[in-house]
Amino acid sequence: MKSLDLIHLWCYGFFQLNLHKIHQLILSLQNKNHITLSFQANIWKILLNIENSLLVVELRDEELRQTSFVGINLKNGKILWTQNKLQEKWWIGLLETKGNFVLLHGYKDLQTPIHLKTYVLNVLNGDLLWKNESTKPIGFSSDNTIVGQEEQESDYLMYNPNSGKVVKQISPSSYIKDNQASSIVNPNYYSIDNKYFEKIAHFIQHLNDGLIAEEALEYLEYNGKIITSFYAKKAEKFVNYISVVSEDGEVLLLEELGRELNAVSADTFFLVKEKLVYLKNKKELVIFEL
């Protein structure tokens, strides 16, 4: 089925559902299909470790100036480990994950947002395997080594991911980056000036008893389901919603992701292994079984 084909069914009025019925259906489905994890800190970044079916999450508590990292089993939503014992508490972030490893970066200094310092965690338990404070981490290579660059050096160094020992030196042009993007399905982003926006907005308005999508939205058709993330105006602010509808008109999900937002944004959800992953109010991670 071509992109937006399912929308045509809605535009011809096949499905007549009111908002009250939708909410009743959502209440009955939430416990069945949802896994919701709540955190005190803001969820800053999420990466997929495809080999171990894990999500690695970066949490940032601005009040405490504390950065933490969490490993989550994608299949059942269980938190496997939390790492918040690193010497650097704030100026550190999540870069990549592959195989049994998580690659973190530090910063050159507090005034310069340039990556420097390399930290490598065990993805299965969160333990720190090694660190190198003089190396800028570049990423994982296609042969599973970790690639970095010493400050003021032009060539790259390839490190054993278990020990941190240098394996060899290569030129930047020889670096073949590992790419796991095909494991994740991302939605299409349509701004208001896109030719498809009006048609999808009409579908959203019809489904939600007049709720009007504004500015931009995200749309994905997947295995006979329509997934949209859209923004409605309320008192000059935006409210972000996510919706999942089957091709025969069954509402599987309608949920508010955030309110009193000043602007719209992209990348509000992604799909992996029949799981829809999204955030609510910056502090809740939801895994929804499709």
CATH class as words, domain 41-181 = mainly beta
Residue 262 above 80 pLDDT? yes
pLDDT score recorded for residue 49? 95
Give the helix/strand (H/E) hosting 201.
Answer: helix 197-207
pLDDT score recorded for residue 23? 42
Paired sense of beta strands 79-83 and 66-73, if any: antiparallel
Q: pTM (2 decimals)? A: 0.86
125 or 28, greater pLDDT: 125
pLDDT score recorded for residue 16? 39
Residue 58 above 60 pLDDT? yes
pLDDT score recorded for residue 15? 38
Quick check: 222 and 33 in contact, CB under 8 A? no
pLDDT score recorded for residue 109? 77
Q: What percent of the chain has pLDDT over 90?
A: 70
pLDDT band at 279 (very low <50, low <70, confident <90, very high): very high
56 or 154, greater pLDDT: 56
pLDDT band at 8 (very low <50, low <70, confident <90, very high): low
pLDDT band at 29 (very low <50, low <70, confident <90, very high): very low
pLDDT in tens, 212-256: 999 999 999 999 999 999 999 998 999 999 999 888 877 888 899
DSSP letters, 57-80, are EEEEETTTTEEEEEEEETTT--EE
Q: For 89-110, what is the mean pLDDT?
A: 93
Mean pLDDT of the chain: 87
Q: For 152-180, what is the mean pLDDT?
A: 89
215 or 203, greater pLDDT: 215
The full set of domain ranges for the chain reads 5-36+184-289, 41-181
Residue type, 109: D
Quick check: 92 and 108 in contact, CB under 8 A? no
- Please state, in angstroms and as integers, the Cα–Cα distance from residue 84 to each residue in 71, 74, 273, following that order: 12, 21, 29
Say which DSSP state 239 is in: E
| CB neighbour class for 12 (10 Å; exposed up to 12, middle 13-18, buried from 19) | exposed
Q: For 118-132, what is the mean pLDDT?
A: 98
